[in-house]
Amino acid sequence: MGFDLHALDRATDGFFGAALDPTLWPAVLEKVSQASGSYGANIVPIEGRLLHTFIVTESLVPAMEDYFAGEWYKQDFRTRHVSMLRRAGVMLEQDFAGEDDFKTLDFYRAQARFDLRWSAMIGFSSGDDFLAFALQRRIEDGPYSRREAESLHRIRQKLMITARIMRDISASEVKGMATAFEMANVACVFFDRMGLVTTVNEKMRRLLGPDLQITQGQMRPTRKEDANAFDRRLKAVLGDGNLLASGEPEILLLSRKGRRPLIVRMQRLDGDLQDVFCHSCAFATVEDPEEKVRQRPATLTKLFGLTRAEAEIALMLAQGMTLHDIATHRTVSYQTARAHLKSIYRKTDTNRQPELSLLLAGIRMG
């Protein structure tokens, strides 16, 4: 059992198709496993938060679930050699451990329950993340050879290109979402799988201040209780807990000194399968209840057929200004302002100023 280099080259070309359609990853990994004489393969971050962020062949699912559920990753001393893997690019199991380790370490006993031992790891970067593409062989299959390790460097180049493609696609999608939120006058902030801020739109930047800041890549409410609640919710949304299913409120309130609290709603972005390649994995929208809705006369001209002058007067009336005040402000006669008012009432099918104000209050114009 060994590498079929021709089949392996064709199989790893599938990385580029999976970059555009991430649902293809399990099938691509399966083909790579077969071509390399492996029992299975997986892609997983090997730094920082590890849970719920891996791509794996079906053959390795039970072992990977046990790896995380049993917290064996905390005893996986291969993760202590990340710097070595960064330098070498490719490392084999025998680079990490020897026969005595296989016999005595609890980690390898746990792996042996699934008849696993030998791995070949390819280290590569995706943005700020460092990932490992790992091929796995069973105990009886024996280790990967040094000659096989040399072939894995070609795979590493393809992985790095693929990671860059997926990262750029994800970043472009996030940028588009942030722009869409900005156009809708909604403050938003995006987070990576580590909970670090990746993107903030201008509307969100205007809400930052003494009560809410971004420090060392983290969004931090000043009030300790708010900060703890924010962190718990973000971890839950990112998949490290079940707080969202425990009856906690849908929104978070972030206190502000002398002002009403900000209203925060968090949501995970779709695409669990490619989390390891994502620019951002979750986002939050933030609402300021004290903000006056930005109103645009053009909305009323389109909606009710008002003239520009009528739309501006309607907005002033909705803000509580009297007709005399409006006439003075616009430097027109009271009679002219009154004529505009009659036309406004007719076009909006209203009869009194409070009725008009109530109507306009329900229309989002910014």
Looking at the structure, do residues 192 and 253 belong to the same domain, yes or no? yes
pLDDT at 246: 44
pLDDT band for position 241 (50/70/90)? very low
**φ, ψ at 48 (rounded to 5°):** 75, -150
From residue 128, give the alpha-carbon distance in Å to each of 84, 154, 161, 175, 188. Answer: 17, 22, 15, 18, 22
Return mean pLDDT, the chain: 86
- The larger pLDDT score, comparing residue 68 to residue 1, is at 68
**Does position 121 have pLDDT exceeding 70, yes or no?**
yes
Give the tens place of pLDDT for each residue, 16-67. 999 988 889 999 999 999 999 999 999 988 876 555 557 899 999 999 888 8
CA torsion 349→353→358→362, rounded to 10°? 70
- Predicted model pTM: 0.71
Domain presence at residue 175? no
pLDDT at 206 over 90: yes
Residue-range definition of the domain harbouring residue 311: 297-361
Q: For the domain that residue 317 is a member of, what is the CATH number?
A: 1.10.10.10
Between the alpha carbon of residue 156 and those of residues 15, 212, 356, the distances in Å are 11, 41, 65
Residue 274: is its pLDDT beyond 60?
A: no
Residue 62 located in a structural domain: yes
Which of 287, 307, 331 is the last residue before a domain boundary? 287
Same domain, 44 and 163: yes
Q: Which of 168, 199, 215 is the last residue of a domain?
A: 168
In a domain, 366, yes or no: no
Q: Are residues 221 and 119 in the same domain?
A: no
Report the C-alpha gap between 237 and 174 in whole angstroms.
17
User: What is the structure's pLDDT at 309?
Assistant: 92
Number of structural domains the chain divides into: 3
The DSSP call for residue 211 is T
Single-letter residue type at 153: H
Residue 311: pLDDT over 70: yes
Q: How far is it, in rounded angstroms, from Cα 75 to Cα 71?
A: 8
| Phi/psi at 43 (5° precision) | -125, 125
Residue from 37, 45, 56, 15 nearest 120 by CA: 37
Does residue 222 fall inside a structural domain? Answer: yes
pLDDT score at 196: 92
